[in-house]
Amino acid sequence: MNQLMVGGKAISVSNLDKVWWPDEGIIKGDVINYYIEIAPWLLPHLQERPLVLTRYPNGWLGKSFYQKNTPAHAPAWLRTFPITSDKGRTINYCLVDDMASLVWVVNSGAFEIHPFLSRTEDLAHPTCMVFDLDPMEKVTWEHICETALAVAKGLELWELQGFPKLSGSTGIQIFVPVRPVYTYAEIRQIAQSLCQAVHTALPGITTMERSIAKREGKLYLDYLQNAMGKTLATVYGIRPRAGATVSTPVTWDEVAAMQIRPHDFTIFNLRERLATQGDLFQPVLQLKQSLDHLLASRK
């Protein structure tokens, strides 16, 4: 057991030489170092958001488990946020607002981090509308890019901007920052309308069918992702995939070229991309787009 001083807080870190990616030779210490180096870009995207963590104590190939409730052995300085379910159960979600909290979380094995779409100050109103384009067995990468561009076109017609990122797994995720004054139900209503328009334009490769058995291998347009407690992997977060891939923002020009792939960016080259591109997801933190004109037309 080693001690790290991070932001004036002592953190016990363990098994730093434990291999988490055998084929790549990536050890736990490498992953912690990645998150320390990436923290200035990552932390603003986690600020004040309850987190769902996925822990991989034996590396990405080992058994994993979700963790919502913060364990009792967490340090006293680690901030948490209680949320009580409709059934009366209270879960103390972890908050990661500084580097010390980030290091503690990753040391626990939780290198995969999923933040809420809303912040603790106003949990009922998300700051983004999201579209998660995740392929089925018959869907090609070209299909994913084509669908993403159709979403972008629809957003443009609605006078909205969306920002794409590679999931780091198999697909593309699009974040549409909005004013945090709309309910999840209102956000979901808008997302459903756009998904329906995209499906009408691309019926051969997309589906709105909720039943997996009836999707015929098409790309599912999941507007239901816009709901309280639903989460997506954080931008700049490591995914449990070969190569230690990272969920990375991309430009619409890169999507249109269809040459980028989810496995293109890893803990080995993400910092180089940031040095040349900067934080392409910065507008997701800054823009507060109105949906008033869209909601008014549906009343």
Q: What is the pLDDT of residues 65-103, one digit of tens each?
A: 999 999 999 999 999 999 998 788 999 999 999 999 999
User: Nearest Cα to 173, choosing from 96, 263, 248, 238?
Assistant: 248
| pLDDT at residue 298 tops 80 | no
What are the two backbone dihedrals, phi and then psi, of residue 284, each rounded to the nearest 5 degrees? -65, -30
Which of 57, 82, 115 terminates a domain? The answer is 115
296 and 161 in a common domain: yes
pLDDT given at position 225: 94
Averaged pLDDT, 202-228 = 91
| pLDDT at residue 286 tops 80 | yes
pTM above 0.85, yes or no: yes
Q: What is the mean pLDDT of the chain?
A: 94
Question: Both tokens of residue 230?
Answer: 């639903």
Residue 58's domain comprises 1-115
pLDDT given at position 299: 60
297 and 181 in a common domain: yes
220 and 96 in a common domain: no
Q: What is the CA radius of gyration of the chain?
A: 19
99 and 28 in a common domain: yes
The span from the CA of 289 to the CA of 286, in Å, is 10
Q: What is the pLDDT of residues 121-132, one digit of tens each?
A: 999 999 999 999
What ranges make up the beta strands (E) of 85-192? 90-94, 112-115, 128-133, 163-166, 172-177
Q: What is the pLDDT of residues 244-279, one digit of tens each?
A: 999 999 999 999 999 999 899 999 999 999 999 999
